[in-house]
Amino acid sequence: MHCMTTMESGAETGFYAVKVRAAGETTVAGMLRQKGLNVLLPIVEERRRYSDRMKRANRALFPGYVFVRVEDGELLPLVSTRGVSYMVKTGRELAPLSADDLATIEALCQETTGCELCDQLSVGQRVVIETGPLSGLVGVLTQSGERSRVVLSVNSIFQSVSVDVRDTRVRAIQ
């Protein structure tokens, strides 16, 4: 993965998430750069299968979003750009990226190994295991990250088992 960026310094503040039209991230990012704005756009390369061949293609890691550093006077050029839907807000206020989120996005721009979107999981959340021999089982996430574990329960005998799910895909359920 690589990042399309015009940032001068990784420690700058004032970055915002900007919602753009579907599959328009690269085009919108280019137009914003032409207007002199600093843009972060994490890109991932994926292999797509066609009927007669495999082809490599780039796509935005976060579909529908670009991340832009703007000053107060730069809002009009940003929101008037073709393909920009809106700037992400909290209530009526624009929601700047936190320092932690900005650091994460910058790091993802430098990442060269395969990345893919996944559900945001929290400890205590009910999840379903999607791959491997335990596929389809539902449990509770007890640890996340490198040592992810899910507790599976056999309620009829009041017993539970903690399972290592590091190499398994899990998905949040409601």
pLDDT in tens, 149-166: 999 988 877 888 899 887
- Is residue 45 a contact partner of residue 54, using CB atoms and an 8 Å limit? no
Q: In this predicted structure, what is the pLDDT of residue 4?
A: 61
Distance separating alpha carbons of residues 94 and 52, to the nearest angstrom = 46
**Stretch 56-81: mean pLDDT:** 91
- The CATH code for residues 2-110 is 3.30.70.940
State pLDDT tens for residues 85-136.
999 998 999 999 998 899 989 888 887 456 777 777 889 999 999 888 888 9
- The band of 2, judged by pLDDT with boundaries at 50, 70 and 90, is low
- Is residue 152 a contact partner of residue 161, using CB atoms and an 8 Å limit? yes
Q: In this predicted structure, what is the pLDDT of residue 71?
A: 87
Domain positions in the chain are 2-110, 126-172
**Stretch 46-53: mean pLDDT:** 86
Distance separating alpha carbons of residues 149 and 172, to the nearest angstrom = 14
Q: CA angle, corner 93, sides to 87 and 95, nearest 5?
A: 55
Entry pTM: 0.72
Distance separating alpha carbons of residues 25 and 124, to the nearest angstrom = 34
Of residues 4 and 115, the one with the higher pLDDT is 115
